[in-house]
A and B are shown apart, each in its own frame.
Chain A
Amino acid sequence: MKKLVFLSVVLVMMLALVAPGATAVAQEKIKVDVWIAFQDYRWDWTKEVAARFNEMFPQYEVVVTGGYSYETVFAQVAVAAEQGQLPAVVQFFEAGTQDARDSGLFKPIADALGDRTEILGLPVDFDDFVEPVRAYYTLDGKWTSMPWNTSSAIMFSNMNYLRAAGWEKPPATWNEVEQACEAIMALENAPEYCFTWPNHGWFFEQWLAQQDALYVNNGNGREARATEAVFNSEAGVAILQWLDDLYNKGYLYYSGAQGGDSWSTVDQAYSTQQVAMAAYSSSDTTLYTQMGIEGGFETVASFLPYNDDTGWTGNLIGGATLWLADGLDPAVEEGALAFLVYLTNTENAADWHKITGYIPIRYSAYDLLESEGWFEQWPNQTVAVQQLAQSKVTPATSGALVGGFPAIRNVVTAAIDRVLLSDDDPKAVLDEAVAEANRIIEEYNLLNAP
């Protein structure tokens, strides 16, 4: 009896091993692997879009895999490439652009598309993508990766505090922020702090771009490969000086967290009304507007405040794009390309904006949202779009292309941490940061330059 049970268990297990293989042969779907760096509601949304795509094109099976963070997905892709298991589409953040480009693993979208204007019947229209996005991801004159989640840095203000202090609209410049803070902190029921921001390297880059100052040499790495960091300019020092002034006056709240995990400390300080204003990413406009509704105050979004002395040139984008793997089977490449086009079509781009707060990356998506009355209902949602639309496209506002960017960001946030918490001179600290960044760039280029 025991033997019989044992034998039947073995038989079942063997069948289980054989069966999936047999069914896979019968269906013969072309599998398109897509790796993204989200594991939250954004992953769910992407899987829903993929499901609709798979229904429209039954010959394809798009499989979306979620990842923990941009950095870990990058490491996973490098390992997968070594083993010849590269997925068809991978999401990289803007700071990984140079790394992705140098890896030789990806094919520019423009090359894959050739001069076709549609793929599998889906129309392709790159002119419909908003200008700053096009500027960032057009490399060597070629449309390189597919823009998807794009944001900009803006400011959210708690109008209860601002109005009480006599400000009908949020301050627009650095000096105005300081003046508003003086008034707010003098209020009877003043918040604990006036202004805060996540100590993420991206904000330093934003304030630098506003002053039309470069981050790295060679036209921000866009004319030729960047070989040196140049952010210890007057513009760079001014940013640290301004933050340090606000900090020393007790206006600025710095949570102590740096980099990608610093956002949630700002969320908490703002939602509990411990601060009046927060510089933040437009990607969470929906969330911040909601915080106000739930907390009984009005959140107004505005452009990121700029340096009065240098004026405002423009802001740069943030977020990530989707890269197409090189050396794919032609049928897989076709499916991957079609999915990229489908994912960013007008309807999906508009829906993506509504769900997340990332900007509508297509003009037609903006028009669609406007005709639905979306922006009238949610005026905060237009701020990032307007800020990018009014930005002048220069090498500074196009954003830096440089190898080892994530490591350089860590250097910058550590420098800001040091300036705020110690008595060290901003210029000296920034000079040291640039020396460290230069070592990173030099080593990166040594390993990656062709």
Chain B
Amino acid sequence: MVVSPVILMLAGAAIGAAVVAYIFKRAGGLWLLGLGLGAIAGAFGSALFLAPLDYCTFEAGRESLDRAFGLILAAAGTAIVVAPLGWLSGKLLRHESLIEGQQSQGAFRHWWIAIPLLAPTLTILLLFLYYPSLETLRLSTMLSRLGARREVFVCVDNFTRLVEDKTYFETVVRTMYMSFFIVVLSMGLSLLVATMAYLPIRGASIYRILLVWPYAMSPAVAGIIFLLMFNPSGGLINYLLGKWLGIKLGWLNDPKVAPWTIIMASVWKSMGFNILFYIAGLQNVPKDLIEAGAIDGAGVLRRFWHIVWPMLSPITFFLLVTNLTYAFFETYATIDYLTPGGGPLRSTTTMMYRVIQLGVQNNDMGKAAAESIVLFLTVIGITVVLFRTGGRQVTYGV
């Protein structure tokens, strides 16, 4: 199969033209204009990723995996350019507002006033977020080391090798299930503890401070404490378990147990943050609603399920997103202290741990950049799914 830039551009143009022309026609615009605009956008989109790569995936001597990857890049580029164009033109042609929801009364008189007001934030974002992101994209196509004489362009090898590496697939699956349990356990336990800490008891504020404390502890200190507690030989936990129950567990050196040690430590570390937010959320649940429920004869569990839980849903959703980020990105330090190396038998190697091991320890920047892009896309994907499903069930206000 011969794939040339021209064919890809024509294909992109055709798709773009069809989509945008259709939208123009539905919205009552000039469909020929839509056809032209769509064709240009589609052609440009197909080249968005591949032109900087110089269409290297289709060079002679490349494998079918590379070519498939090239086609995916062309399709993704086309979608990234055509979809917003279609959405925007549809809205404009129908004279709809670009911002969803009701317009507030206090709008600015001139639209351009927003620009200087946003400028400081945008400057910082550009410098410290968008530019490094672009640099990551560039690095991901390179063989690169800090302090080396040169960089070598390797096309998409850093990505395609992940498809062939069976340990990577295992790592992705492991990251998913560890993150799932960290998020669910941490949030579930936090809600339970927050509900109890919210009860009107003597010295409640002291309890609350103590509960939030673990969150304020540096990951390094927490890591050392956990390591010396969970060390299978000589550690406190196994000493006590052995003394009282006569059993000992391979907390750090049994591949079946070690991931759970990491999950426990991560849950413990993140609970403070969740409890803080849940206590704040509980304080915002109107007392009269609960009283009304009580008068109507609803029991504690019923009141919780029908009044408190829905009122907490914005907080729960916010925590779900932040906890997910924590589970995917910030458990690195915990793993590095408890099971440095990501063992035993790779059982605690997560996607983020691999990125840091490759980038910082091995100084293999290109592969680390490629894996961090995959990780980024995974988390974006999960977050989008969350917003599409869970986000709809959130009730804001009464």
Contact = CB atoms under 8 A, between A and B. Distances in A.
A284 interface: no
Nearest to A191: B233
A358 interface: no
Contacts, number: 135
Interface residues of B, number: 40
B344 interface: yes
A447 B344 contact: no
B286 to A, nearest CB: 43
Contacts of A258: 340-343
Contacts of B150: 447
B269 to A, nearest CB: 18
A255 B360 contact: no
A406 B233 contact: no
B337 A261 contact: yes
B231 A417 contact: no
A262 B224 CA distance: 12
B147 A81 contact: yes
A77 B339 CA distance: 28
Nearest to B235: A268
Interface in B350-368: 357, 360-364
B339 A256 contact: yes
Interface string B349-389: 00000000100111110000000000000000000000000
Nearest to A76: B146
Nearest to A413: B341
B341 A79 contact: no
Contact of B145 (A268, A413, A448): A448
B345 A447 contact: no
B228 interface: yes
Q: Is the interface of B mostly helix, strand, loop or mixed?
A: loop
A410 B357 contact: yes
Contacts of B345: 417-418, 421-422
Contacts of A71: 360-361, 363
B147 A407 contact: no
B170 interface: no
B178 interface: no
Nearest to B261: A256
B2 to A, nearest CB: 30
A75 B360 contact: yes
B346 interface: yes
Contacts of B136: none
A48 interface: no
A261 B340 CA distance: 6
A259 B340 contact: yes
Contacts of B252: 255-257, 265
Contact of A407 (B146, B339, B341, B363): B363
Max count, chain A CB within 10 A of own CB: residue among B143, B231, B252: B231
A439 to B, nearest CB: 10
B281 interface: no
Contacts of B342: 258
A422 B253 CA distance: 12
Interface in A62-109: 71-72, 74-75, 77-79, 81, 99, 102-105
A410 B361 contact: yes
A450 B152 CA distance: 14
Contacts of A75: 146, 360, 363
Contacts of B149: 102, 104, 447-448, 450
A77 B148 CA distance: 12
B345 to A, nearest CB: 5
Nearest to B232: A255
| 4 closest Cβ pairs, A-B complex | A258-B341, A256-B253, A78-B147, A407-B362
Interface of A: 71-72, 74-75, 77-79, 81, 99, 102-105, 192-193, 196, 199, 253-262, 264-265, 268-272, 274-275, 404, 406-407, 410, 413-414, 417-418, 421-422, 440, 443-444, 446-448, 450
Given A255-B253, A406-B361, A446-B143, 5 more contacts: A71-B363, A192-B233, A256-B232, A261-B340, A447-B152
9 contacts: A74-B363, A75-B360, A253-B232, A255-B233, A256-B252, A274-B233, A275-B233, A446-B143, A447-B148
Interface of B: 143-152, 224, 227-228, 231-235, 250, 252-255, 258, 336-337, 339-346, 357, 360-364
